[in-house]
Amino acid sequence: MQETEREALGTAVQRVAGMLQRPDQLDKVEQYRRREARKKASVEARLKAAIQSQLDGVRTGLSQLHNALHDVKDIQQSLADVSKDWRQSINTIENLKEVKDAVVHHSQLAAAVENLKNISSVPEIVRDTQNLIEQGKLLDAHQKLMDMECSRDDLMYEQYRMDSKNTRDMKLIQIYFAEVQKLSEELAKQLWMVVQRSLVTVRRDPTLLVSVVRIIEREEKIDRRMLDRKKQTGFIPPGRPKQWKEKMFDILDKTVSVRIESTQADTRESEKMWLVRHLEIIRKYVLDDLTVVKNLAVQCFPPHYEIFKKFLDLYHQSLALRIQELAAEELEANEIVTLLTWVLNTYQSAEMMGNPELVPEVDVNSLQPLLSNDVINQLLSKYMSTLTSNIIGWLRKALETDRKDWEKNSEPEADQDGYYQTTLPAIVFQMFEQNLQVATQISEDLKVKVLLLCLQQMSSFLIRYKEEAQSYKEEHLRNRQHPACYVQYMIAIINNCQTFKESIISLKRKYLRNDMEEGMLTNHSNMDMILETIAKEGCLSLLDEVFMDLEQHLNDLMTRKWLGGTNSVDTICVTIEDYFNDFAKIKKPYKKKMTIEAHRRVVVEYIKAIMQKRISFKSAEERKDGAERMIKEAEQFKFLFNRLTAGSEEDTDGLCDTIIAIAEVIKLTDPSLLYLEFSTLVSKYPDIRDDHIAALLAVRGDATRDIKQTIIETLDQGLSQPNPNYVPIFKEILVPTLTVPKLLK
């Protein structure tokens, strides 16, 4: 209290100090005093009211406690009186045992009297019930059956209450009602027959199915009632619980399983498409059945049965078992594809579970997979292994067939543009296309794997194709008369390379979705190189064929016979043109390269003829005639190849100009100008060597040894830098050296 007084005093001092800070506030001291007095009176009044309220509450509580004490004493007295009365009545209760037994006996007699009519007429009711079952009046039959079972159960219950150990009377009642149990079993058979044929029944007579469901619902209620009584009394009638609802779903489960099993094809051994047929029948049956359940059967069952969901689960489980059985069998590659396509695509598509008729009851996204990922991977692995073996076999057979065609005496077929070709590229890529389309139906990953496999095998196949083309050329060289259409089929082989290239690009573009997938195939870029090699070797072999025919005419060049006026170059040009009439059937990329190479080889062979020093001109007149003939023949070659490369941007004149440049050296009449002419020649053709110069001087026939030595030494000292765009031509021309026989001669 003292602490509180000190705090109050301190607070008051602070408030007064705050009020009297200025001199003019002293005039208001009386006003402040009255205001504080009013506040103090108000606080005291509130405090008094609060204390009075608390006192009233305490007074009321004490009064209630006093009343409660009196009540407790009254109750205690009443309990004492009750205890006293109960002790006095114990003997009276023991005297009522006979009354209790009489009540039980009376209850049994009442039950017997109540069921007396049914008990006495049991044989007659049994016959009536049997007739009703046979007539298909199942509801009426079940009503009579329930009445008889009720009478039996009541009698047995009363007997159980009176003497639960008296099994003799229990058996007597059970024997008397034995026919009732048989009727129950007979009725159950009829019910299960209807349930088994429920999808047929619901179309023809839905009321019959409704009756069956009503009977099952009645039995379910009776089962629940009997089980509740068993908890209370321990008694349950024989045959209970019947659990007909569970049995009904078991029957439906077996019915669905049999329905799926019945779709198995009986002609598997003799029918190649047995799996396709089998799965199609399953699809049709399941779709039809679920549509019937949704549109008709659902109305015949109580909502809490969720009958459509139940049927959906049953069909899904049965299908999963059947599909797993099929997956475990020894399936061929096409059968694996059929199964996986059906499982991964058809099952959830609009053709089956995603059908508009089943929406929205069926959510395809919530359906569990029919096959596990492990089983699917095993099937895919087996499929890829079988497919690899098949593709290798197909490619080998296709190549063997094409190789036999090369031996034919008739020309190969031409495409719409007139280019020779064989059927090999079309056969190979048609096979690839078919397998890729099949893989696409299963999954995108499998599609990429199959494409990868096709390209892998294509790479190996092209190596064998190259070997066969080489073998074809070697066989022809052993006997150039065989085969008759060698040139035409070699052209077809070259054109096939271009077709293969285009087909590979088309295949990648069609079946690859993005750059990432294309990056997986980078290891197969060597196919282009193999195809280029095959085409290049084919073109060279055809050119070899041309120049083998020209060999004799090329040997006549730069000889005395040639100088005398032979028509060797005319024959060479005619022969080349004749061959290139056939080469017109070669596709443009290769034909263009082949023409350029033929032009180069003709010029090289001509220059080789010069360098072989087959002739040595004896006079200026001979040199003039020879040089003019060389220039004329160079112009012939120009004219020929300009015509063969019509429409091409390639410069075909430069090669022939080499012959003209050499002719100018030979034509020169003043030997003192030879150095100047040779220096011009060397600056234009920097790959020309000393032996080439020596050979040209030897052909001229008028240069002394000193002149040769001077020209060669001077040109060696002033070697010019080659033009970066220059393509060497003298590099591949060898000058024959003097052999011992020639020296002796």
pLDDT at 26 over 60: yes
pLDDT at 745 over 50: no
In this prediction, residue 740 carries a pLDDT of 42
Closest C-alpha to 578, from 554, 555, 606, 598: 598
* Site of tokens 């499998």: 446
In this prediction, residue 119 carries a pLDDT of 62
Residues with Cβ within 8 Å of 273's Cβ and at least 6 positions away in sequence, in order, are none
In this prediction, residue 268 carries a pLDDT of 55
Residues 310, 251: Cα–Cα separation, whole Å? 12
Closest C-alpha to 285, from 199, 165, 396, 384: 199
pLDDT at 521 over 70: no
- The answer to whether 377-537 and 556-744 have equal CATH topology is yes
- Work out the average pLDDT over 633-661: 81
pLDDT band of residue 23 (cuts 50, 70, 90) is: confident
Least confident of 26-35, 81-90, 304-313, 520-529: 520-529
- Work out the average pLDDT over 395-413: 92
Residues 122, 129: Cα–Cα separation, whole Å? 10
The answer to whether the beta carbons of residues 108 and 162 sit under 8 Å apart is yes
- Work out the average pLDDT over 580-586: 89
Q: Between helices 526-555 and 486-511, what is the axis angle to 10°?
A: 160
Residues 191-224: tens digit of each pLDDT = 889 888 888 888 888 888 888 889 888 888 988 8
Residues 303-322: tens digit of each pLDDT = 888 888 999 999 899 999 99
Q: What is the dihedral of CA 615, 619, 620, 626, to 10 degrees?
A: -30
- Work out the average pLDDT over 33-53: 87
Residues 262-289: tens digit of each pLDDT = 877 554 545 678 888 888 888 898 889 8
In this prediction, residue 743 carries a pLDDT of 45
Q: What percent of the chain is modeled with pLDDT above 90? A: 24
pLDDT band of residue 546 (cuts 50, 70, 90) is: very high
- Work out the average pLDDT over 634-640: 92
The answer to whether the beta carbons of residues 114 and 157 sit under 8 Å apart is no
Residues 630, 650: Cα–Cα separation, whole Å? 23
pLDDT at 457 over 80: yes
In this prediction, residue 648 carries a pLDDT of 56
Out of 1.10.3720.10, 1.10.40.30, 3.40.50.720, 1.10.357.50, select the CATH number for domain 377-537. Answer: 1.10.357.50
Tell me what the pLDDT averaged over the chain comes to: 84
Helix (H/G/I), strand (E/B), else coil: 414: strand
Ordered by start, the domain boundaries in the chain are 2-88, 100-242, 253-371, 377-537, 556-744
Cis peptide before 206 (omega within 30 of 0): no
In this prediction, residue 117 carries a pLDDT of 58
pLDDT at 10 over 60: yes
DSSP 569-612: HHHHHHHHHHHHHHHTTS-HHHHHHHHHHHHHHHHHHHHHHHHT
User: How many other β-carbons are positioned within 10 Å of the β-carbon of residue 83?
Assistant: 10
- Per-range mean pLDDT, top range of 150-159, 519-528, 560-569: 560-569
CA distances from 216 to 190, 201, 249 (A): 12, 17, 11
CA distances from 304 to 207, 307, 309 (A): 19, 8, 11
Q: Between helices 588-611 and 526-555, what is the axis angle to 10°?
A: 40
Q: How far apart are the first and last CA of the chain?
A: 157
**Residue 13 host element (H or E):** helix 2-19
Least confident of 31-40, 72-81, 646-655: 646-655
Residues 369-399: tens digit of each pLDDT = 888 889 988 988 998 998 999 999 999 999 9
Q: Is the dihedral of CA 510, 512, 514, 519 positive or negative?
A: negative
Residues 215-252: tens digit of each pLDDT = 888 888 988 888 888 888 878 888 888 888 899 999 98
* Topology adopted by domain 556-744: Tetracycline Repressor; domain 2 (1.10.357)
Q: What percent of the chain is modeled with pLDDT above 70? A: 89
State the burial class of residue 329 (Cβ atoms within 10 Å of its Cβ: 0-12, 13-18, 19+): exposed
Cis peptide before 724 (omega within 30 of 0): no
Residues 689-738: tens digit of each pLDDT = 888 888 888 888 887 777 788 888 777 665 556 677 778 888 888 888 75
In this prediction, residue 739 carries a pLDDT of 46
User: How many other β-carbons are positioned within 10 Å of the β-carbon of residue 222?
Assistant: 19
In this prediction, residue 95 carries a pLDDT of 67
In this prediction, residue 722 carries a pLDDT of 62
In this prediction, residue 331 carries a pLDDT of 84
CA angle 570, 576, 580 (to 5 degrees): 145
Q: Alpha helix (H) ranges present in 568-727?
A: 568-583, 588-611, 620-644, 653-667, 674-684, 690-700, 705-717
Q: Alpha helix (H) ranges present in 330-423?
A: 333-341, 373-405
**Residue 456 host element (H or E):** helix 444-478
Least confident of 85-99, 183-197, 365-379, 466-480: 85-99
The answer to whether the beta carbons of residues 462 and 534 sit under 8 Å apart is yes
Closest C-alpha to 401, from 420, 423, 431, 432: 423
Residues 572, 552: Cα–Cα separation, whole Å? 10
